[in-house]
Structure 1
Amino acid sequence: MKMVFRWFGEGNDTVTLKQIKQIPGVEGIVWALHDVPAGEEWPMAKILEVKQAADRIGLHTKVVESVNIHEDIKLGLPSRDRYLDNYKKTIAKLAQVGVKVICYNFMPVFDWVRTELHKEMEDGSTALFYEHQKAAEMDPSEQAERINANQNFTMPGWEPERMARLTELFAAYQGITEEQLWSNAGYFLNEIIPFAAQHDIVMVIHPDDPPWPIFGLPRLITNQANIRRYLDLFDSPYNGLTMCSGSLGANPANDIVAIVNEFADRIPFAHIRNVRVYENGDFIETSHRTCDGTVDIAGIVDALARNGFEGFCRPDHGRHIWGEQCRPGYGLYDRALGIMYLWGLWDASKRSEGEVAP
């Protein structure tokens, strides 16, 4: 397991590369150019800025999250080929600087949805929270305003320029069925996976968050059967899965250990976080510790270890603790604690197999 840490860039993150370097076992950063709109080609000068900053501190930049997909590709519009061409140009540039994994998603309009960014927990910490009934009733533009109220941080998936087009985007998706979205995903894979393979970059799809249709928009990557279908659309080791325990774990029906066991050879990247799911469908993001949520974090890490996982792993969203003022879900302290818990589980699993984990 190769531990990495998501970083949003100089001037766009309260966490510094120097701090990341001090977390035991962290080898690299998970990064992106968050100021480049979806569909645009990434400038090499900006790519090199991130790589050179990481190189100076001794961290690699092999994992990118995300190269976002333009909505015209998801909608299957004639203009998609132009955006696919830009996507390929970006892949080629990233290959030049040693990138090996690109995480992306195929969610219409929104990358993720929460109804509250700082829900207070019993211990006084705060965390991202999803209230099922509120999500079913709220106007998405209201949520966009709430998320973008803090101008100090970009919120991937909720960029102001994209949110300004909400009415237009929802109108475009009227009549787009789940099957049409599957067809458009297949078109994307047929264009991108062979090109990525030529450049030795694995494309890894991120599960939908939450893993069910929302705001009347279809969703694809929601459960084990749909993951299987997506990977079968283009059967290649370069068409992989980002195993996100928190996204999948928001639906207790998802057996994530079974998902790891079935797709172990197609998981080059893992996001590990815990959520506590309530009977009414609400969920809140907790510490990574297994007993604090409803996701079997210990079982997931053990399954990864027993399947010989050698991919990249990062702690996913953390709580906001000890008064830290940070991007919602992406502070330093709780994610660093999460890393140490994950390493403890990993070492224990390896030791039980007679290995001493490096």
Structure 2
Amino acid sequence: MKMVFRWFGVGNDSISLEHVKQIPGVEGIVWALHDIPAGEVWTIEKINEAKQQVESQGFHIDVVESVNIHEDIKLGLPSREKYIDNYIKTIENLATVGVKVICYNFMPVFDWVRTNLSKELEDGSTALFFENSKIADIDPKELVQTISLNSDFTMPGWEPERLVYLTKLFDQYKDVTEEDLWDHLQYFLERVVPVAEKNGIKMAIHPDDPPFSVFGLPRIITNEINIKRLLGLVESPSNGLTLCSGSLGVNPDNNISEIIRKFSDRIPFAHIRNVKRYENGDFIETSHRTTDGSVDIHGIMEALYNAQYTGYLRPDHGRHIWDEKCRPGYGLYDRALGIMYLWGIWDSLCRTKVKTENYAGAK
């Protein structure tokens, strides 16, 4: 596997690339042009600027997360043609600097939803938290205001330009069903996947977070059945999945290791994180350690290892520990600990295999 680390850029992240460089085994930076609104073309000039920043510290820029999709594409409006054309141009521009994977999502309005950005855990650290009953009662506009006021950085998926027309968006999605959303996704993929394949890029959709309807909005990338349907919309190695153990792991019915076994050849990118689920539907993000949450992180890494996974992998959301002031979920310290935990599992699997082979050869 190729270990990478998500970074939000100079002025939009509390972490420096110099510090990331000190984490063992990290070879690439997962990046994006967060100042460009969804639907606009990423210019070669802006792409090269980011490339130079990242490569100056010895990292590659193989993975982009995310090239956001304009809501008109998800809504299936006539104006989607312009935005799909722009998306195609962005794919072509990213190919000129050697990008290999584009992570994206097809979640209406909100890329992710939490009710508390700093819920305290028993050890005194804090983490992102989802309280089911609060979501059922809250006006989504109130949640937007809360998150905007409590973050010093632009939150991915909650960019200001996407929030100013929130009320209009909810009205537009009022009659959009899950099947409508599937149709709009297929239309988008039929246009962009051939371009991505021609340019050596794999499109990797991120599962919905959380993997169920929120605020009555349709969500479709939620489980193994829907992942299989997604991969069949366009039969191409460039139509793939970003495996996210945290998003999928919120639903206890999702067997993530089995999803890896079935679709490993269509998973160019993986996010590994742990969540602790509660019976009432609440969940909180924990350390990456298997026993700290409800997701079998060791089993997931073992499934990737057994599949001879050679794609890109990054630690996902971490806790906020040691008084670090950082973007919610994206501090340095706990994600660095997560990387070392994941490397520890991977290295032990490699070592076990060598010992087994040596033992078999000696016999």
Fold shared, TM-score > 0.5 on shorter chain: yes
Cα separation, 2, equivalents of 1:72 and 1:355: 55
CA offset at residue 355 of structure 1?
Answer: 7.3
CA offset at residue 43 of structure 1?
Answer: 2.1
Partner of 1:26: 26
Partner of 2:164: 164
Cα separation, 2, equivalents of 1:287 and 1:114: 17
Tell me, yes or no, if the aligned pair for 2:151 and 2:328 is still in contact at 8 Å: no
Q: Amino acid of the residue matched to residue 111 of structure 2?
A: D
Partner of 1:205: 205
Partner of 2:230: 230
Greater shift in the superposed pair: 335-344 or 150-159: 150-159
Partner of 1:92: 92
* 1:127 equivalenced with 2:127 (yes/no): yes
CA offset at residue 170 of structure 1?
Answer: 0.4
Cα separation, 2, equivalents of 1:148 and 1:175: 28
1:330-356 CA distance string (max 9 Å, x none): 000000000000000111112222279
Cα separation, 1, equivalents of 2:152 and 2:287: 25
Cα separation, 2, equivalents of 1:152 and 1:208: 25
Partner of 1:114: 114
Unpaired runs of 5+ residues, structure 1, are none
Give the direction of change, closer, same or farther, for the CA distance of 1:355–1:187 in structure 2 (3 Å limit). farther
Q: Amino acid of the residue matched to residue 143 of structure 2?
A: Q
1:20-76 CA distance string (max 9 Å, x none): 111000001000001100000012222111110111110000100000000000000
Q: Amino acid of the residue matched to residue 19 of structure 2?
A: Q
Secondary structure of residue in 1 paired with 2:129: strand
* 1:194 equivalenced with 2:190 (yes/no): no
CA offset at residue 86 of structure 1?
Answer: 0.4
Q: How does 1:1-358 map to 2 (within 5 A)?
A: 1-150=1-150, 152-354=152-354
CA offset at residue 150 of structure 1?
Answer: 3.9
Secondary structure of residue in 1 paired with 2:354: coil
Secondary structure of residue in 2 paired with 1:253: coil
Q: Amino acid of the residue matched to residue 223 of structure 2?
A: N
1:101-156 CA distance string (max 9 Å, x none): 00000000000000000000000000000001111111111111111114520001
1:238-265 CA distance string (max 9 Å, x none): 0010000000001111110111111111
Cα separation, 2, equivalents of 1:354 and 1:164: 56
Give the direction of change, closer, same or farther, for the CA distance of 1:30–1:355 in structure 2 (3 Å limit). farther
Cα separation, 2, equivalents of 1:294 and 1:48: 41
Partner of 2:359: none
Secondary structure of residue in 2 paired with 1:77: coil
Give the direction of change, closer, same or farther, for the CA distance of 1:94–1:355 in structure 2 (3 Å limit). farther
Cα separation, 2, equivalents of 1:102 and 1:57: 22
Cα separation, 2, equivalents of 1:18 and 1:336: 13
CA offset at residue 324 of structure 1?
Answer: 0.1
Cα separation, 2, equivalents of 1:68 and 1:326: 23
CA offset at residue 161 of structure 1?
Answer: 1.7
1:266-291 CA distance string (max 9 Å, x none): 11100000000001110000000000
Cα separation, 2, equivalents of 1:315 and 1:173: 33
Q: Amino acid of the residue matched to residue 21 of structure 2?
A: K
Cα separation, 2, equivalents of 1:213 and 1:341: 32
Q: Amino acid of the residue matched to residue 256 of structure 1?
A: I
Secondary structure of residue in 1 paired with 2:56: helix
Cα separation, 1, equivalents of 2:327 and 2:151: 10
Secondary structure of residue in 2 paired with 1:67: coil
Q: Amino acid of the residue matched to residue 254 of structure 2?
A: N
Give the direction of change, closer, same or farther, for the CA distance of 1:160–1:349 in structure 2 (3 Å limit). same
Tell me, yes or no, if the aligned pair for 2:151 and 2:327 is still in contact at 8 Å: no
Q: Amino acid of the residue matched to residue 81 of structure 2?
A: D
Cα separation, 2, equivalents of 1:293 and 1:338: 13
How large is the RMSD of aligned CA atoms in angstroms? 1.0
Unpaired runs of 5+ residues, structure 2, are 357-363
Greater shift in the superposed pair: 142-151 or 22-31: 142-151
Identity %: 66
Cα separation, 2, equivalents of 1:257 and 1:73: 32
Secondary structure of residue in 2 paired with 1:353: helix
Cα separation, 2, equivalents of 1:270 and 1:178: 25
Secondary structure of residue in 1 paired with 2:64: strand
Cα separation, 2, equivalents of 1:11 and 1:74: 30
Cα separation, 2, equivalents of 1:186 and 1:353: 41
Q: Amino acid of the residue matched to residue 49 of structure 1?
A: E
Give the direction of change, closer, same or farther, for the CA distance of 1:128–1:266 in structure 2 (3 Å limit). same
Q: Amino acid of the residue matched to residue 351 of structure 2?
A: R
Tell me, yes or no, if the aligned pair for 2:246 and 2:272 is still in contact at 8 Å: yes
